[in-house]
Homo-oligomer: A and B are copies of this chain.
């Protein structure tokens, strides 16, 4: 047992932190200003982002998330602490081409894509030229259970015909988001986990209708391409657009789940660290009742609890990454579920206390905290609500002690 990062990780952490400090964090106000000046906030792509991306590539801080030959070749455990550092800024992931859901989509194409699929979509994604969306969640069903999915993908000769409604397709509001991976049922009568398939649907395919942007607590997240509600109406794509084959949709979704969970959680820990830093700075500077907030026992309590909670949560995510690397998805099952419920609980708590320490500034645009909170709050819901994961985790625990 060894709690130190390996040399490669330490080196990358230092390089990434340097990039964040020297380029990304200073670019935040520039990005906001360029976005504010855009004619159409949905099509906006602030030039400073391309400068950051160029700099990241120059520094070799590019596609760090991707294992194997197409990417940086890091293990989950090596990449995890980098995701945390990226998560401290809203710009960090895109600047290094490590944004969700592109990361998951690239990983899927890298693992399961045909040469042609990889050429046409993976390459421009890896180059940061286009963005992508993952169209999974549906408004009308509890889609955390894949067997509920309503979207239909019907074969018609050399084509699939897609019909369905998706929402919270993150990133899809922006026209730079050129390709959608759509989850649907090709065979509703097959065995539970063989009914689903994933199909590549270019944005401009006839029948694809972006209906509206879903807000999150008043934020439209236009800087990240928003969260789209999309109707697919008799959308036709060639059968070659299926990924890995009919009936593979569930298996593909499982494959992306573990790493995606780790990325989400580590970015969330970065958010918590940022909130804690802001809380400390505010407490040191703000004076009330004749002294800095930092002298007040209740604020000290929040700060100490935040540190304790963050440390615990981070270790669990890192252990999960290590399990993924050493025993695989299946052996890390309990931990993958545990971080799904443990990390959001921690991060919303920490940010909420940081907001409270900031008063009015905390809920407004004058700090990133309210926006961080809104994002963190969704982590209790995306990929299935906490309750689904607690229930499943509990059942496994209960089974250990079942007597026949």
A interface residues, Cβ below 8 angstroms from B: 1-6, 9, 77, 137, 139, 142, 145, 148, 167-168, 214-220, 227, 276-277, 280-281, 283-284, 286-289, 294, 296-301, 303-305, 307-309, 311-313, 315-316, 318-319, 322-323, 326, 334-335, 337-338, 341-342, 355-356, 359-366, 370-371, 373-374, 377-378, 380-382, 385-391, 393-395, 397-398, 400-403
Q: Which of B289, B312, B381, B385 contacts A315 (CB 8 A)?
A: B312
Of A148, A215, A276, A323, chain B has the most CB atoms within 10 Å of the CB of A215
Q: Are A371 and B312 in contact (CB under 8 A)?
A: no
Chain B positions within 8 Å of A287 at CB level = 142
Chain B positions within 8 Å of A298 at CB level = 297-298, 300-301, 387, 390
Q: Are A374 and B218 in contact (CB under 8 A)?
A: yes
Chain B positions within 8 Å of A316 at CB level = 308, 311-312, 315
Q: Are A297 and B387 in contact (CB under 8 A)?
A: yes
CB distance from A359 to the nearest CB of B (A): 5
Chain B positions within 8 Å of A288 at CB level = 142, 145, 148, 388
Query: Would you list 18 pairs from A and B whose C-beta atoms are within 8 A, ordered by A residue?
Result: A1-B3, A1-B5, A1-B322, A2-B322, A4-B326, A142-B289, A214-B364, A216-B363, A217-B217, A277-B401, A283-B398, A296-B387, A297-B301, A300-B395, A301-B301, A304-B390, A304-B397, A363-B374
CA gap between A140 and B187 in the complex, in Å: 49
Q: Closest B residue to A381 by CB, please name it.
A: B359
CA gap between A388 and B297 in the complex, in Å: 10
Q: Are A360 and B308 in contact (CB under 8 A)?
A: no
Q: Are B381 and A356 in contact (CB under 8 A)?
A: yes
CA gap between A6 and B1 in the complex, in Å: 6
Q: Are A401 and B360 in contact (CB under 8 A)?
A: no
Chain B positions within 8 Å of A215 at CB level = 218, 364-365, 370
Chain B positions within 8 Å of A9 at CB level = 1
CB distance from A332 to the nearest CB of B (A): 11
Closest 5 CB pairs of A and B: A218-B218, A297-B297, A304-B390, A300-B394, A218-B219
Q: Are B217 and A284 in contact (CB under 8 A)?
A: no
Of A294, A315, A335, chain B has the most CB atoms within 10 Å of the CB of A315
Known A216-B363, A298-B390, A312-B316; further 4 A-B contacts with Cβ < 8 A: A2-B322, A307-B338, A308-B338, A359-B381
CB distance from A78 to the nearest CB of B (A): 9
Q: Closest B residue to A395 by CB, please name it.
A: B300
Q: Are A393 and B318 in contact (CB under 8 A)?
A: no
Q: Within the oligomer, what is the number of copies of this chain?
A: 4
Known: A218-B219, A342-B308. A381 touches B363 (CB 8 A): yes
CA gap between A2 and B325 in the complex, in Å: 11
CA gap between A319 and B371 in the complex, in Å: 32
Q: Are B142 and A398 in contact (CB under 8 A)?
A: no
CB distance from A102 to the nearest CB of B (A): 21
Chain B positions within 8 Å of A322 at CB level = 1-3
Q: Closest B residue to A360 by CB, please name it.
A: B168
Q: Are B308 and A341 in contact (CB under 8 A)?
A: yes
Q: Are A3 and B319 in contact (CB under 8 A)?
A: yes
Chain B positions within 8 Å of A313 at CB level = 312
Chain B positions within 8 Å of A3 at CB level = 1, 318-319, 322-323
Chain B positions within 8 Å of A360 at CB level = 137, 139, 167-168, 214, 381-382
Q: Which of B304, B323, B356, B398 contacts A385 (CB 8 A)?
A: B356
Q: Which of B6, B294, B397 contacts A280 (CB 8 A)?
A: B397
Q: Which of B142, B318, B356, B393 contacts A380 (CB 8 A)?
A: B356
CA gap between A307 and B289 in the complex, in Å: 23
CB distance from A394 to the nearest CB of B (A): 4
